[in-house]
Structure 1
């Protein structure tokens, strides 16, 4: 076949993308990506983010909502470097991403021309795989392999592509050197011996408990865990700093979120002689404290699809298996016990009553007003560190994907992730609850939300400071050196990016706007920022 009539690397890659269902590309491109993007076919959707953190954040939300890999395109060193924090979040959130990273022309790469990047190690250990195809013709196969690795490794898989590779012809008779599909059935029967061992552990306990995490956030896993909890009559705790909810948090057996400090964790689990953890690490902590994770005599078991999570978990038995089918088998094996509601942390008085006339708004007032109005299937995307405990108490997750947060802890997640979720699941209402300090890290995402008609309600709790940092400094008995930034207006920034915004300064105005907006969230195609002035909450509990 004459060279000019042979398909190009670009054409074959686009064909592979279609086969794999990756026809939406999230990008902030540069010159090294132009050869791939010019005259992009009409069936490939291009989504622009104004910063690489927004690009990866939107793709993360999209991938988690659709439970399949999203395609990302980044620009050599600058683009990949800007995206590393967001890629780390995607990895810990277990979001499958295929990330194409542009590179300079292969023909003079050895001379390190302008925009040449030392890319392979730039993202550190956060990618599940990094490919630098040795020949242009190997690019399509590398993209297919990256799709499989992102799917099964649950994280970003990178492919570095030289800008001249796209125009190279490929031999249509040459095998692609990658499987079209790699099967990994989601409902593999769990090991009967391991399931029986876990069931025996729980049956032998006088007061068993369950701990759930982001790895159990699916309809089948919620059903299996609900069945197991109800048969055992056992309370169910959510892992601390969980990125997603692993159990219906309005269920009578839900006992709240585990604390992120070791001595308080011991107290929370004291009295339980067996703890089974599903889809969560054993146990994720934040502030170090001496002593064991649990009191002596408490036996631990866990199931996770993440081998690394299972390998590092200090459990008596750790099972690597799909969470839902394994838990369902355990539920069938355990004996049935009486059920009594789990004790729940009570809301403080200021969290339940509206403010008095003339009293400033607090985060709890806003969260309570939201809780009274949003539908059960609403996706709440959270990034408000100083108010997160209140959000957990007042806005329980009532459906799978009902709660989403950044597992890595880095800021700049909520605005782009909420945008991506809404694009991927247009029938579900999406509300992002974000601190003003957090919002500033990826405020550029509001432009993309407006441009691509992602009808998210962005509720910004604006206290004009890094309130969580203030509380941490006070917790250590010191004085913070950083200033407040009360002159920053998120509403003005949003409008400057083309996104509608409303400033809210009183409870009556808050109620009026929510009553107007919330009932139509499922059908809304225009984003809205509520810039809500709140006073910082003085309490802090890690």
Structure 2
């Protein structure tokens, strides 16, 4: 007899989802025990870390990851991480266990009220009517996760796995292609660009691929246009060591208007128009500026101020556009970077600039750098450019807990690339269980923890608000190096410039082939800027 479980394994093989990320519960026993030899199981000790690992893996592999969660508690614990996966446009197929179908109507222990638990964050949710519908539902979830770029959820009662499978095949297509714009659409956009006297490009996470970078470089050089990175971008959409790279757009409207002043056309590629944080009065772009948008995601276009939005693959669109627009003068000179930070005087603390200067001097160009250090992110942008696709990865949604497990998942998915995670000590605590997975599976990530013993960005925001003293204390008692060692992950505490230089000199040259993780718990001053 072919069981529903057997049929689902066939679906997972068909879609190359043979790595299972999970924190199991009793409703998953009949699915997970006795896995076939061609499947791999990756355990994390909290569901947020489970989804973080899977998100990083999907990002590295460029295809959906498979996640298994345990009824209400598992899905609820993973809610923040699934919201981040949705905003980061990462495809996940999520199977959530449910109580036995034969008495779930009576709401026995561990019954989950699962539909609607995460609101609109899943791109699709399904509770199959029959056990025999489960394989097709998981195939459909793969289709939905790819086409809508986010987590798709299937709820499976625990007894379904042992039922006899039906003869029906799943209806989801094996291959999904992104749309290429028509010649008429390219002609219309090219005409608008050619009529502009001073176009500028804003690149976003949707252009972060080898094809996307190559097409945008060709287009920028053809137009002689500067290229800005979108505000709060989850990934770098353009090589940040290229002469045309102008920098990162500010987070507020006044800063965006100042940066884009003098340009009569803004072409936004692979990004919303434009993600902001603080509310400010006035227009988002200078008055009279035409805004064009190229995005693969319709909802980014629906929420934008674009005059013309092209919903199509950014890489192919930009490649076609580069072949159609008229050539202009050479790209402008690259902006000058900051001066290297002088080493601290004796008795003075390390600052983020010291850490990032040392990283920038030795990181290989192909490094995958994962960021979750809100107080020092602008300094990181200034000093450590992304030089290859996935050279910068962060959480577009802004919630904490993504960076640490995502770095583990990225290294699992890209074992030959060096992976560094730059994290705040406060941020690390939201996904700290991921260190156990890194250590247990010998995942060679370097975790650079900026330990200032505070929510430094929150302290600065409170000070600038003029509303009085912040009620939250610091947490200087927390030592991430000790927590890491308690989870089986090697760690070092670093307090001086010489100690940091020696540690990086030792670790960075062989980081790509490193066979285990390391945490550098670095004492830094509580500097903070945001924007």
Q: CA deviation at 1:42?
A: 1.6
Q: CA deviation at 1:541?
A: 4.1
Q: CA deviation at 1:540?
A: 2.6
- CA distance in 1: counterparts of 2:56 and 2:164, whole angstroms: 35
* Structure 2 residue 517 is the aligned partner of structure 1 residue 522: no
Q: CA deviation at 1:343?
A: 5.8
**Counterpart among 437, 445, 448 of residue 456 in structure 1:** 445
- CA distance in 2: counterparts of 1:297 and 1:354, whole angstroms: 47
Name the residue aligned to 1:242.
233
Paired residue secondary structure (2:376): helix
Name the residue aligned to 1:492.
482
* Structure 2 residue 321 is the aligned partner of structure 1 residue 353: no
**Counterpart among 196, 218, 226 of residue 227 in structure 1:** 218
- CA distance in 2: counterparts of 1:541 and 1:117, whole angstroms: 40
User: Which stretches in structure 1 are left out of the alignment for 5+ residues?
Assistant: 1-5
Paired residue secondary structure (2:512): helix
Q: CA deviation at 1:344?
A: 2.8
- CA distance in 2: counterparts of 1:339 and 1:479, whole angstroms: 52
Q: CA deviation at 1:264?
A: 1.2
Q: CA deviation at 1:346?
A: 4.4
Paired residue secondary structure (2:370): strand
Q: CA deviation at 1:334?
A: 1.0
Paired residue secondary structure (2:177): coil
Q: Deviation above 6 Å: which 4+ runs of structure 1?
A: none
User: Which stretches in structure 2 are left out of the alignment for 5+ residues?
Assistant: none
- CA distance in 2: counterparts of 1:360 and 1:290, whole angstroms: 38
- CA distance in 2: counterparts of 1:525 and 1:228, whole angstroms: 40
- CA distance in 1: counterparts of 2:507 and 2:332, whole angstroms: 35
* Structure 2 residue 502 is the aligned partner of structure 1 residue 512: yes
Deviations 1:470-513 (A, max 9, x none): 11111212321100000100000000000000100000000001
Q: CA deviation at 1:120?
A: 0.8
* Structure 2 residue 189 is the aligned partner of structure 1 residue 194: no
Matches within 5 A, 1:37-186: 37-171=32-166, 174-179=167-172, 181-186=173-178
Name the residue aligned to 1:388.
377
Q: CA deviation at 1:357?
A: 3.1
- CA distance in 1: counterparts of 2:332 and 2:129, whole angstroms: 60
* Contact kept? 2:139, 2:170, Cα under 8 Å: no
Q: CA deviation at 1:352?
A: 2.8
* Contact kept? 1:411, 1:441, Cα under 8 Å: yes
* Structure 2 residue 1 is the aligned partner of structure 1 residue 10: no
- CA distance in 2: counterparts of 1:127 and 1:345, whole angstroms: 42
Name the residue aligned to 2:414.
425
Between stretches 466-475 and 413-422, larger displacement belongs to 466-475
Number of residue pairs aligned between Structure 1 and Structure 2:
530
* Contact kept? 1:235, 1:342, Cα under 8 Å: no
Deviations 1:209-253 (A, max 9, x none): 000100000111111100110111100000000000000000011
* Contact kept? 2:374, 2:530, Cα under 8 Å: no
Q: CA deviation at 1:345?
A: 6.5
Residues 204 and 352 of structure 1: CA distance in aligned 2, closer, same or farther (over 3 Å): farther
* Contact kept? 1:92, 1:407, Cα under 8 Å: yes
Name the residue aligned to 1:3.
none
- CA distance in 2: counterparts of 1:433 and 1:387, whole angstroms: 9
* Contact kept? 1:207, 1:272, Cα under 8 Å: yes
Name the residue aligned to 2:423.
434
* Contact kept? 1:62, 1:420, Cα under 8 Å: yes
TM-score (norm 2): 0.98
TM-score (norm 1): 0.96
Paired residue secondary structure (1:85): helix
Name the residue aligned to 1:416.
405
What is the CA RMSD across the aligned residues, in angstroms?
1.1
Q: CA deviation at 1:310?
A: 1.2
- CA distance in 1: counterparts of 2:177 and 2:91, whole angstroms: 17
- CA distance in 1: counterparts of 2:477 and 2:80, whole angstroms: 27
Matches within 5 A, 1:167-316: 167-171=162-166, 174-179=167-172, 181-186=173-178, 188-316=179-307
* Contact kept? 1:256, 1:345, Cα under 8 Å: no
**Counterpart among 497, 501, 524 of residue 534 in structure 1:** 524
- CA distance in 2: counterparts of 1:75 and 1:258, whole angstroms: 41
Name the residue aligned to 2:330.
339
Q: CA deviation at 1:312?
A: 1.6
